[in-house]
Structure 1
Amino acid sequence: MAKRDQHQPAERLLVVLPTWFGDILMATPTLRALKRLWPDTQLSVLVRESVAELVEGLPYIDHHVPVLMKGKGASAFRLAKRLSKQKYDAAILLPNSFRSAALVSMAGIPRRIGYERDGRGVLLTDKLIPRRDGRKFLPVPTLDYYLSIVHYLGGEAYEGDHLMEVATRPEDDERAAGLLAGAKGKPVVLLNPGAQKEFKRWPAERFAQLAARCSNELGCAVAVTGSPAERDVLARVTGAATTTIIDLPKAGMNVRLLKSVTKQCALMVTNDTGPRHLAAACDTPLVTLFGPTTPEWTEIGYDKERQVVARDAGHAESMKQIGVDEVFDAARDLLSSSQAKVGS
């Protein structure tokens, strides 16, 4: 495609967001960069309904198109018909899936921009080639992977272009402060012991031991969060704890409140899962635990993150190699070098 076409701004742009919680947050720098590059473009995002609140309130998004993943409204044909009525002239596909390319093709969107993956090249008008060594894809941090699309369209790198962000509402901030009222003014350490894949989880009893040390040695309050599907692991953490833990999901949590709660905490300790990216987006200091996965695919360049990586990373049982002492040391160092945020 000619260079002038490659850099041609869209009037009505649809950005198909990734499915996963953390990937959506890693897409926020790309959305911001797109609006910076094409300020007059109407920018819409196609986002899974259950996590659409993650990108609510961001000033560079003009319109949200929430999508059901299951049920009557989940039909790709119905969705394509719905999108076709909006007369988008371009779509950017952040997921690598064939399905996302087929969807915007069925919707009749004339320009379709994305990586040539999953056999979908024939459906794209603008094909970006991912880095690879022979048949093997090379690790590229997701932040850079998405931003490369903006660079292809003519965008330039600028200071702060990797910063993830979220927006919160005053009423949610107020309610979050109420949920953390049990901290009684102490800095709050937020534990996220879950992960969709169980082999990515640090043992629940070690989270409980960490909670006790944060309370007894650092004078912090401790809270725990997780999705409804992670209720069992939250119960194991709170059941094994020898200190009081604020169980946020029991108090009633949603994505909006999780953003506000995270913003008000002094530190998060988490497995390699979505809330890690939320902490960075909220500028909350962060300890991330890596075992079967390694940071190279999801590096976020956040200077208030400490990564604790298992000695024999890359194996299903490697999370068990991470000891409480090394996680506590990382948490203590971060808390001592950061200004504590108060829970109420």
Structure 2
Amino acid sequence: MTLPTKQYATILVVMPKYIGDAIMATPALRLLEQLHPNAVITLFCRNNAVYELFTHHSCYQVVLDECVNGKQHLRQSRQQIQQISPDVAYLFRNNFFDALLLKLAGVPRIIGYQHDGRGWLLDYKEKIDRVRHYINHYAHLVNASHQFPFKRLPDTHLQANADTFKQDCIQVAVYAGSKQKGTRCFPTSSLVNLIAGLYEQCDKFSQKVLFTLIGAKDEQDYAAQIAEQLQHQAITVVNQAGQTTVSELVDLIAAQNLLITIDSSPMHIAAALKVNSLVLVNHGTSPWSVVAPKVATTLAVLPLGNMIENEDQSHDLDMAHALSLSCQLLNISEQGLAEQNKQDEGSSPLENYVETTQEKLE
């Protein structure tokens, strides 16, 4: 089934629930922009964090569903959609309720994946490919419904302002998760050893480095444990876990020279901002192959395959290799230092390591 090719004036996109998934949908949004350059694209968010993310870090109109957290009745959500009056709606969520809501709101064209018994509510539907990467999953829906005009994916993308959190040193943010992340949570001892090793390498080349711990409010205690262990080793660390809004977190990550993280929302934020990232991959909620960032600025360390149980995978990572990759991403080596000094003999080594779109440090 195909829809007639036409220019839409108003496009509604029902966004994924989680930040990482929503960021992986940004290439699909960029395809819609190319296909309908004069259209108003409105993102319908059913999560406060996703709403805040795109309100401050995108060029789209953003609406928060009034039914979020069950505070309002379905009628309010329907009225919101009717006020937007979209020509077409793209469902980037796969549940029955969202399709029914759009149908009740009288949206003339509803496009989504056939799932949860909702196929009869859709004007254009595609079958879900469970092994397709999430980025491709969203982009395919746009591409297929327009008769496949594109071959290549755009990058994930967010807007940010790094100035707010920029410091006169190498900046490394660290996100380890917490017990709430299940098997994705990274052991404090291994992470502290990695950070200490990176600190020693920076110190070897007289590079000042600031480590910043990030996370949600329910991850503050876990981050505090890491901070305490680092402070005992006289390593400068700032614990920002639970202290930032989503918008501030994006700007904070944008200011970093490196993010050390697990598979998480911060990982996808860094990828969209082209911030260097080292990902410590454990067993996650989705296979790594369908969520891995598609950017050269992200490197990953995966389990070696020696452990049986999921909860033991984090102990099967080559941490020496993780340290080597971290130094590679920061270009910390005798060769890297020489290359950078050769490029700009008049600047300090620190200036050469700070790779952002901001002006060079004085």
User: For the superposition of Structure 1 and Structure 2, which TM-score range results when normalised by the shorter chain?
Assistant: 0.7 to 0.9
Q: Which runs of 5+ in 2 are unaligned?
A: 204-208, 337-351
Residue equivalent to 1:22: 20
- Cα distance in 2 for partners of 1:224, 1:39 equals 40
- Pairwise CA RMSD of aligned residues? 2.4
Residue equivalent to 2:103: 105
Residue equivalent to 2:304: 311
Q: CA deviation at 1:129?
A: 1.2
The equivalent position to 2:176 in structure 1, one of 184, 193, 202, is: 193
- Deviation by residue 1:229-257 (Cα, 9 ceiling, x = unmatched): 2112111211222222111236x311121
Q: What is the one-letter code of the residue matched to 1:325?
A: A
- Is 1:341 the equivalent of 2:330? no
Note if contact 2:277-2:299 (Cα within 8 Å) is conserved in structure 1.
yes
- State the TM-score, normalized to the length of structure 1: 0.86
Query: Which deviates more, 141-150 or 321-330?
Result: 321-330
Note if contact 1:105-1:123 (Cα within 8 Å) is conserved in structure 2.
yes
- Cα distance in 2 for partners of 1:342, 1:253 equals 23
Q: CA deviation at 1:86?
A: 2.3
Instruction: Determine helix, strand or coil for the equivalent of 1:319.
Output: helix
The equivalent position to 2:279 in structure 1, one of 288, 294, 314, is: 288
TM-aligned CA distance change 1:334 to 1:145, over 3 Å: same
Instruction: Give matches, 1:191-270, under 5 Å.
Output: 191-194=174-177, 196-219=180-203, 220-241=209-230, 242=233, 243-249=235-241, 252-270=243-261
- Cα distance in 1 for partners of 2:128, 2:53 equals 27
Q: CA deviation at 1:57?
A: 5.2
Instruction: Determine helix, strand or coil for the equivalent of 1:316.
Output: helix
- Cα distance in 2 for partners of 1:100, 1:71 equals 14
Instruction: Determine helix, strand or coil for the equivalent of 1:299.
Output: coil
- Is 1:299 the equivalent of 2:298? no
Instruction: Determine helix, strand or coil for the equivalent of 1:25.
Output: helix
The equivalent position to 1:81 in structure 2, one of 52, 73, 79, is: 79
Note if contact 1:267-1:335 (Cα within 8 Å) is conserved in structure 2.
yes
Q: What is the one-letter code of the residue matched to 1:321?
A: D
Query: Which deviates more, 36-45 or 332-341?
Result: 332-341
Note if contact 1:25-1:54 (Cα within 8 Å) is conserved in structure 2.
no
> Equivalent pairs: percent with the same residue?
22
Note if contact 1:190-1:222 (Cα within 8 Å) is conserved in structure 2.
yes
Q: CA deviation at 1:282?
A: 1.1
- Cα distance in 2 for partners of 1:342, 1:150 equals 34
- Deviation by residue 1:92-126 (Cα, 9 ceiling, x = unmatched): 00111222212212222121101111222122111
Q: Which runs of 5+ in 1 are unaligned?
A: 132-136
Note if contact 2:57-2:160 (Cα within 8 Å) is conserved in structure 1.
no
Q: Say which structure, 1 or 2, has more relative contact order (CA 8 Å, 6+ apart).
A: 1
- Is 1:52 the equivalent of 2:47? no
Q: What is the one-letter code of the residue matched to 2:164?
A: R
- Cα distance in 1 for partners of 2:132, 2:311 equals 22
- Cα distance in 1 for partners of 2:188, 2:50 equals 26
Residue equivalent to 1:141: 133
- Cα distance in 2 for partners of 1:329, 1:100 equals 46
TM-aligned CA distance change 1:239 to 1:65, over 3 Å: same
Residue equivalent to 1:176: 165
Residue equivalent to 2:115: 117
Matched residues, number: 323
Q: What is the one-letter code of the residue matched to 1:50?
A: A
